[in-house]
Amino acid sequence: MIPCHHLTVLLRRPFSFVLVLAVVTAACGGDEATDTGAVDSGEAAAVTTTALPEMTTTTTAPETTTTTTTEVPLPVIAPVGDGPYGVGTQSITVAADHRGFELTVDVWFPLADGATADPARYAFVTGDYYDSRRALAAGFDQASDDGPFPMVVYSHGSGGLRFIHSDYTETLASHGYVVVAPDHAGNTAVERVLGNADPSDVIAYNRPLDVIAVIDGALADRSVGPLVDAESIAVTGHSFGGFTTYAVAAGTDNPNGVTPVDPRVDALIPLAPAVGDGGDDGLLSDADLASIELPTLIIVGTDDSTTPVDPNVETAWSSSSASPHYRVELVAAEHQSFTDLCDYLDVLVDREDATPLVVDVITEMSAEGCSPDDMPIERVKALTNTFAVSFFESVFRGGVMITDETNVIPDDVIFDAK
């Protein structure tokens, strides 16, 4: 008897599956072969075979092939949430030779299992404060020994603070990143309230140099340096911090001097960036942007009225040579959606001992992100953190970036890639 064979071929393509089943059956005619035998202790089986007749007629069935195609739907985007690490945070100072004084820098880092400490407190100079719901005021001696970890420099927006987007910086740290964020002196909330901020050209000159100084200082710091993989460094920032993010990678020619390109930077995430229209009088020229070839993810709100998508994101998207280049627009998100102002509003406004001036500033600024018609802030957090972590994992750890080829992009996100 001639046995029948079945061949199954599985062809697998990214994010869809095609199953091709080819069945080839050969039917063989002839007398039946009969096997008999007995097995005794220590004896081999005796096999008797009946021979086929001299004349045998064989009939072969025609070859048939059946193909079935099944499209497997793409998965929805699953929010990253908290990563596998607890988060510690401490403040350090780093030398800033271009300023002639030191910058205050907050550091978020992955904690070892079992680390304990009081909740981290983010305090304003007025004495008002916001307690973290996740980060601990743990020492660097409680850091995880799984490192070294990639380092991300966060640059706050104009009139902001180093910890103004702690939900974002803490989330990155929980996924195994060391995050460092300076106060850009002369352009913080303190100067905003007091009305004595530096001139805009001075701010634009100092900011990228601040980032370079922070990278230098963090790597040299005896507590932070050992935690960091010096070959894996990214910069991210909000608003004017988005300008800063691009400027570190492009270099700028400012009336106050030239800011150099920092070749140590490997990836960029500008959030609602202030870019301008690419003209000679703008923050960044088309030529500046065209010089940037680093992997870049832009995240912005469609309803941003402070740094509108057009021209800011449109200019960066069309002029930058970033590769790969991703663009995520959150529908109905606004400028301050990429800060913790909504949380400050919830915590500080009803606090009896809150400083009225601080409450007034927060209330005014939070209108651009915490209003009823805006994308809910928890949704903004989930989407921002998920796309950012996915991007950094794809750059530094060989992960797969979320795209419209890997996942279903939800209706409240406009996605593009090139």
Other CB atoms within 10 Å distance of the CB of residue 27: 10
- The larger pLDDT score, comparing residue 276 to residue 72, is at 276
* Per-residue pLDDT at 36 exceeds 80: no
Q: Do residues 162 and 104 lie in contact, with contact meaning Cβ atoms separated by under 8 Å?
A: yes
Domain ranges in the chain are 1-72, 87-417
* Per-residue pLDDT at 280 exceeds 80: no
* Per-residue pLDDT at 75 exceeds 60: yes
Q: For residue 193, what pLDDT is reported?
A: 81
Q: For residue 2, what pLDDT is reported?
A: 38
Angle at which helix 356-365 crosses helix 341-348, to 10 degrees, equals 140
* Per-residue pLDDT at 10 exceeds 70: no
> How far, in Å, CA of 89 to CA of 14, rounded?
39
> How far, in Å, CA of 52 to CA of 183, rounded?
93
Q: For residue 349, what pLDDT is reported?
A: 80
**Residue range 14-38: average pLDDT?**
34
55: confidence class by pLDDT, cuts 50, 70, 90: very low
- Provide the total of helices (H) and of strands (E) in the chain, helices listed first: 9, 16
Q: For residue 56, what pLDDT is reported?
A: 44
CA angle centred on 410, ends 409 and 411, rounded to 5°: 120
> What is the residue-averaged pLDDT of the chain?
87
Per cent of the chain over pLDDT 70 is 83
- The larger pLDDT score, comparing residue 46 to residue 321, is at 321
Superfamily of domain 87-417: Alpha/Beta hydrolase fold, catalytic domain (3.40.50.1820)
> How far, in Å, CA of 290 to CA of 53, rounded?
83
- Going by C-alpha positions, the residue among 165, 154, 180 that lies closest to residue 236 is 154
> How far, in Å, CA of 247 to CA of 245, rounded?
6
- The larger pLDDT score, comparing residue 10 to residue 411, is at 411
pTM of the model: 0.83
**Residue range 21-28: average pLDDT?**
33
**Residue range 50-57: average pLDDT?**
41
